Structure 1
Amino acid sequence: MDAVTIGKGDGSGPSGRSDALVEALFRPFRIGSLRLSNRLVHAPMHSNFGDAEGGVSERLLDYVDTQSRGGAGLFYVEHAAVEAPRGNNSPITLNASHERYVAGLAELADVVHANGAKAAVQIDHAGRQSNLRSTRGLPLISSSEVPWVPSGTVPRAMTGQDIRDMVQKFAEAAVRVQLAGFDAVTLHAGHGYLLSSFLSPFTNKREDEYGGSIENRMRLLVEILAACRERVGPAFPIICRLNGADHHPGGLTNEDVVTVARRLEEEGVDALDMTSGTRESGHWQFPTLYMDPGLQLDDVRAVRSAVSLPLIAIGKINTPELAASVVSSGLADLVAFGRELLADPQMPQKIRSGRKSEIRPCIYCNDCMMQLRSFRGVACTVNPSLGRGSRLAPREAAAARQVTVIGGGPAGLTAAIWARQCGHDVTLYEREPDLGGKLRLSAMLPYRSEQRRWLDYMIAECGRLGVQTILGADAASGARIEAGGDVLIVATGSEAAAGNPADERTQSVETALRRFEALGESVLVADGSQQGCELALLLAASGRAVTLAVGEVAPDSEAAVRVSLLERLGSARLRIIEGAAIAASEPACEVRTRDGERIPVAADTIIVPPAPPAVHAVPGDLAAKFAAVHVVGDAAGTTRLMDAVFAGAAAAMRI
């Protein structure tokens, strides 16, 4: 991808304010008749906060209220189905398929407007990328009978009558969006959903006037645009969300998309909201920690050279500087943030007021996606407030307490920050010479730069808020800890065993990172976890001979994370044996495959899955000196980073 820069440094003055960032991102802009106060867009993201029938719930209103206070000029309230339940992409999908939903949609628009932003709805039909649970047993429909494998069913190819009906469904939904008081409507023709399935040769195998050439494949989208324009009138902005490319074999290419974009401009669309990827290439749709920032900008560049329409760019735009460079270079007119605004809804305001060092970064772990696929409300690893509204948000306590936090990992740091934000006096003790706990170790792994940024953010927040931090304080011995006070929060973490005591070569990922330089020249990695695979990448990059021999690669990772990790592993200089287990760990180590083959592997060090961790307990005599004690994070048996952070925040709120 061509470099996009705005010069040396960020132009920040003594206050941290960047005039270059503010000038680039906070200039007004028009999409047709719609005037936006700035160039920042809150992307449409599913929340699972609507009611069971696709209506607007109080929880959704509360969530949209919180998110739209952040300062983005254009706010999407997530997508809405034009046909329910057949068009749903999950069992809980916002609905625009009937007039009875207009009142609820109007409440959403009112909330966004009250917070100073313009409001839009993305209308959509999931097509083949749904499942029978979401459609309540109704058969899936698509351009052709090409299944999305996880759905477990083959979609029915739409008939001519189906197509004519679908044109009207989109047009009627657009009118409902307009009636509800929204400022714009977006037709979702990306990400492999129904309209995207007609555009893509991967899914469109039709032999009628809606299949074959790109002119035929775009026919349904053009007809829907025309029908919507006829119903909403010439002044109401219509935006189209469009894949710049599908990024999988046989999918939509830049060349075809340029043809589509030119035709949409001729037909009077007001802007293009550019994106990339389908469910077959979900790591492009939801870029992960293993993917480069701004990875979709080349797709935007292909369209930029072909049309004069306003363009919205998205795709792991992970810093204000990158966003500003996209706008100031003319590559796109607006920049959309998705997961970045889940991590910190206040990011636009912080940029504008010169507080960009206070932006809580997204770490691109995609645990938010795992939440949604488990039919739970959207949640964020680094932002425990997300979706919880007033139930979990820092607020001034009735009385200030003396709070002692023992342990400076993610749970302890979160507890200290939140307790201080509530007005308590907080002292944080950490036994190591640096804060971070196991988070500091894992940040050593490749592609973890955002995790390191998050750790730096939490440490800086402790300093900014006035948390007293004391390093080298061991809770087990009580060294340097001034015991006594109102509340003790125990976040001492846990420690995995180093490996197999019978073989000194065996180590866990954690111990290997601590002793990285002494691991030898050849390493067998038999830990298939995400971190085990990342350690294999780090070892290979250091020039060691690495064999990754595991039953399965990162089986517990989010789907897009796993796919992009496999891509990184495939391009690294290491040997991979899947379906394998260690058969013997003598000097001439053997790996046994599922079919019984035994493969000798030379190894100075063997990385094995960790044994059950030992918890760092706080002595009872220390805990007895406090009026209340809360145990959080790994010290309480937590295994997920998201849960540890949430527990730290929740403990602070219980004070």
Structure 2
Amino acid sequence: MRTRKYPNLCKPITIGRTTFRNRMFSAPMGGTDITNDGCIGPKSTAFYELRSKGGAAAVTVSECMVHPQTDGSHAYHLDESILNSLACATYTADAIRRHGGIPSLELSHSGMFAGTYMTDKKKQHDLHQWGPSDTVRGDGVQVKALTKEMIEDIVAAYGHVAGLAKRAGFEMIMIHGGHGWLINQFLSPLFNHRTDEYGGSLENRTRFAVEVLQSVREAVGPFFPVEFRMSGAEFTEGGYGLDEGVRIAQAIEPYADIIHVSAGTYQKTFGITHPSMFEDHGRNVYLAAEIRKHVHKPVATIGGLNDPAQMEEIIASGKADIVYMGRALLADPFLPRKINEGREDEIVRCLRCFTCMAERAATSTRRCTVNPLIGRELEGDEIQPAPVKKKVLVAGGGPGGLYAAYTAARRGHQVVLCEKEKEVGGILKSEQALPFKYEMYQLSGTYRLLCEKAGVEIRTGVEVTPEYVDSEAPDALIIAVGSTPLVPPIPGLRGENGANVIVVNNYYLEKERCTDHVVVFGGGLAGCECAVHLGQEGKHVEIVEMRDMLAPDANVRHRPLLMAQIDKYCTVHTGYKGLEVTKEGILCETKAGEKVLVPGDTVICALGQRSRTDVVEALMDTAPFVRVIGDASRVSTITNAVYWGYHAALDI
């Protein structure tokens, strides 16, 4: 019998009459092709199926809105009057179940935030918004209080949709009672100002949740697992804290089989509900741990979890009975299987960069920085062998080059990857000096391991030149030579005159030269993140940026959290054009034409990157098949480098 390294994490758990194969559950995540009438599209079905194929014990399909009459959200609906609604749900449940995962459907109502998932926010504002109480949202939208008759109708809708879900083949229901949606709006003194039996005391504020759970239980029967998702604390002024979270859990415990403890409330706590890179992994686990002391039903926890050892400790020490993962299973859908099979060193860790959520906000699709399959699972999640095996040379060992080499090797090609530096990783090497971005540095090590296991020959300290390509005579060449730092000819920035200058890419090599008073020259994403790190170390940090805003290259989800850190640790000078770097700092010109010295003993040059076009041009005609990827093609993101590298390899 095989001894497991993480026995508690891999141990089955039985809820009602349903046995889950391990303690790693896939958290609710929104689909990628919701139809106009709320059906689960085929891309979404494949999206959820991959989580089950990857070994998750339960896979929760996100937020089926139960009452379209009062909730105009563009999300899933399950209604027998909608053509194909029940069929699409059935196909999805089938797709999850056939790989051994338990299909679960999350039932929800947006309440006063209806229309959240609409890409066109003007339409959201045009919707009539309903909540526990009459109010005006922060964005000026009027909210009307639900009448008792409407509440009764919504409660009945929860039960009706739960019954349809069971008919479709779902084997668990999750009731969303957290994150500022309708049930949480009733639970929270922040939103609930009613004076009837649904407001005031805790008993009254939990009444709606209890009625919903009772309605669902009546529809699905006594042994069907029903999970209640709640915020253990809301982390905002006027909301409830953990003490009241414990009392809420106790109130709903008689009616639920699993108490799923998340955190936070809508819009106010995004970086807590979905812990950002600036937060500790598992920063919300203590909420579940405290609630578990006061209830007897199984408790689930969630929040930035992706480390097997940490998750094992959570289960082993009794902090929770189940761990949920969302983003971690985007980065690596096969994480649970890798843990079960003793391949945890192959896990591709989530970077908590929010590319996935930013893409959903921008285009209503999904994309993951480290996993090019996400949102595109229908294109195939298994690498097919190439009909003709070829020799492939990859020039450059950054993230795009590594992923291209890994993919080409899995197709059966003979792959050689050359990196001119002594270590692979490209621009990722610079991230090792920033603790909150260390997982980006680790990514290159993981990709290298995957390459080696796939049979890639990696040659470091080798630069690919036209002569080298001629000597190797590959059938295909993937050019992934990356970019170089942009260091413009500003007086004092280069050469001997720049003795107090550190290029941001080289900070990890020269950080001992960094003094306690630093000017970061360039307020893009790289400069801002380096500035935050320096501020966290206790240094006095100034940022000089010629544009009117910082980090326009940061995604829409990450940027507000980054700016909050900037406000905490840095002094910002926007609209400042750097004229000269001196020993005293940077001489700048303001928009008004005034000359100002921004003082600092050390200058971090973070003025951007430039593609290595000279290398690309020299290599373009050296092999029958040539593809340029990543920064070598266009200075962009890790996301694009990995995605382009993956598809370059598929095209050979």
The two structures have a TM-score, normalised by structure 2, of 0.90
What residue ranges of structure 1 are gaps of 5+ in the alignment?
1-12
Matched, 1:533 2:528: yes
Structure 1 equivalent of residue 476 of structure 2: 487
Asked if structure 1 preserves the Cα contact closer than 8 Å seen for 2:79 and 2:86, the reply is no
Aligned AA (2:643):
F
Aligned AA (1:270):
D
- The offset of 1:171, in angstroms, is 1.7
Asked if structure 2 preserves the Cα contact closer than 8 Å seen for 1:392 and 1:650, the reply is no
TM-aligned CA distance change 1:521 to 1:276, over 3 Å: closer
- The offset of 1:447, in angstroms, is 0.6
| Residue deviations 1:475-509 (CA, integer Å, cap 9, x gap) | 35746973422101111111132244323256653
Q: Distance in 2 between matches of 1:276 and 1:94?
A: 23
TM-aligned CA distance change 1:626 to 1:302, over 3 Å: same
Structure 2 equivalent of residue 270 of structure 1: 257
Aligned AA (1:129):
F
| Residue deviations 1:375-409 (CA, integer Å, cap 9, x gap) | 33212110101222252542211111100110111
Asked if structure 1 preserves the Cα contact closer than 8 Å seen for 2:616 and 2:632, the reply is no
Q: Distance in 1 between matches of 2:553 and 2:226?
A: 40
Aligned AA (2:333):
P
- The offset of 1:208, in angstroms, is 2.8
- The offset of 1:202, in angstroms, is 1.6
Matched, 1:122 2:109: no
Structure 2 equivalent of residue 337 of structure 1: 325
Q: Distance in 2 between matches of 1:597 and 1:274?
A: 54
Q: Describe how 1:11-410 pairs up with structure 2 within 5 A.
A: 19-21=4-6, 23-84=7-68, 87=71, 89=73, 91=74, 93-100=75-82, 101-131=85-115, 137-146=126-135, 149=138, 153-266=141-254, 268-278=255-265, 279-391=267-379, 393=381, 394-410=383-399
Aligned AA (2:263):
S
- The offset of 1:98, in angstroms, is 4.5
| Residue deviations 1:445-476 (CA, integer Å, cap 9, x gap) | 23112112211101111221221111222235
Q: Distance in 1 between matches of 2:304 and 2:538?
A: 30
Q: Secondary structure at the match of 1:300?
A: helix
Q: Describe how 1:534-549 pairs up with structure 2 within 5 A.
A: 534-540=529-535, 544-549=539-544
- The offset of 1:181, in angstroms, is 1.9
Matched, 1:457 2:446: yes
| Residue deviations 1:494-533 (CA, integer Å, cap 9, x gap) | 1132244323256653355554344455321243233212
TM-aligned CA distance change 1:24 to 1:525, over 3 Å: same
Asked if structure 2 preserves the Cα contact closer than 8 Å seen for 1:525 and 1:608, the reply is yes
Matched, 1:602 2:599: yes
Q: Secondary structure at the match of 1:383?
A: coil
TM-aligned CA distance change 1:615 to 1:303, over 3 Å: same
Aligned AA (1:123):
L
- Identical aligned residues as a percent: 30
Q: Distance in 1 between matches of 2:134 and 2:425?
A: 51
- The offset of 1:85, in angstroms, is 7.2
Asked if structure 2 preserves the Cα contact closer than 8 Å seen for 1:487 and 1:629, the reply is yes
Structure 2 equivalent of residue 10 of structure 1: none
TM-aligned CA distance change 1:85 to 1:64, over 3 Å: farther
Q: Distance in 2 between matches of 1:592 and 1:140?
A: 49
- The offset of 1:565, in angstroms, is 3.3
Aligned AA (1:532):
G
Aligned AA (2:226):
I
Structure 2 equivalent of residue 469 of structure 1: 458
Asked if structure 2 preserves the Cα contact closer than 8 Å seen for 1:498 and 1:511, the reply is no
Q: 1:627 aligns with which of 624, 630, 643?
A: 624
- The offset of 1:538, in angstroms, is 3.3
- The offset of 1:248, in angstroms, is 1.8
- The offset of 1:175, in angstroms, is 1.4
Aligned AA (2:473):
G
Q: Secondary structure at the match of 1:503?
A: coil
- The offset of 1:204, in angstroms, is 1.9
- The offset of 1:652, in angstroms, is 0.3
Asked if structure 1 preserves the Cα contact closer than 8 Å seen for 2:54 and 2:333, the reply is yes
Q: Secondary structure at the match of 1:448?
A: helix
Structure 1 equivalent of residue 118 of structure 2: none
Asked if structure 1 preserves the Cα contact closer than 8 Å seen for 2:53 and 2:334, the reply is yes
- The offset of 1:231, in angstroms, is 2.7
Q: Secondary structure at the match of 2:576?
A: strand
TM-aligned CA distance change 1:282 to 1:621, over 3 Å: closer
**RMSD value over aligned CA atoms?**
2.8
Q: Distance in 1 between matches of 2:340 and 2:598?
A: 56
TM-aligned CA distance change 1:75 to 1:544, over 3 Å: closer
The two structures have a TM-score, normalised by structure 1, of 0.90
- The offset of 1:612, in angstroms, is 5.9
- The offset of 1:265, in angstroms, is 1.6
Name the count of aligned residue pairs.
Answer: 633
Q: Describe how 1:568-607 pairs up with structure 2 within 5 A.
A: 568-569=565-566, 572=569, 575-577=570-572, 579=574, 581-582=576-577, 585=580, 587=582, 589=586, 600-607=597-604
Asked if structure 1 preserves the Cα contact closer than 8 Å seen for 2:434 and 2:530, the reply is yes
* Greater Cα offset, 102-111 or 346-355: 102-111
Q: Distance in 2 between matches of 1:136 and 1:654?
A: 45
- The offset of 1:373, in angstroms, is 0.4
Q: Distance in 2 between matches of 1:87 and 1:284?
A: 26
- The offset of 1:314, in angstroms, is 0.8
Matched, 1:423 2:412: yes
Q: Distance in 1 between matches of 2:108 and 2:577?
A: 49
TM-aligned CA distance change 1:255 to 1:640, over 3 Å: same
TM-aligned CA distance change 1:136 to 1:246, over 3 Å: closer
Asked if structure 2 preserves the Cα contact closer than 8 Å seen for 1:498 and 1:507, the reply is no
* Greater Cα offset, 498-507 or 382-391: 498-507
- The offset of 1:354, in angstroms, is 0.8
* Greater Cα offset, 398-407 or 602-611: 602-611
Aligned AA (1:273):
H
- The offset of 1:42, in angstroms, is 1.0
Q: Distance in 1 between matches of 2:370 and 2:478?
A: 19
Asked if structure 2 preserves the Cα contact closer than 8 Å seen for 1:195 and 1:221, the reply is yes
Q: Secondary structure at the match of 2:434?
A: coil
Asked if structure 2 preserves the Cα contact closer than 8 Å seen for 1:397 and 1:424, the reply is yes
TM-aligned CA distance change 1:94 to 1:133, over 3 Å: farther
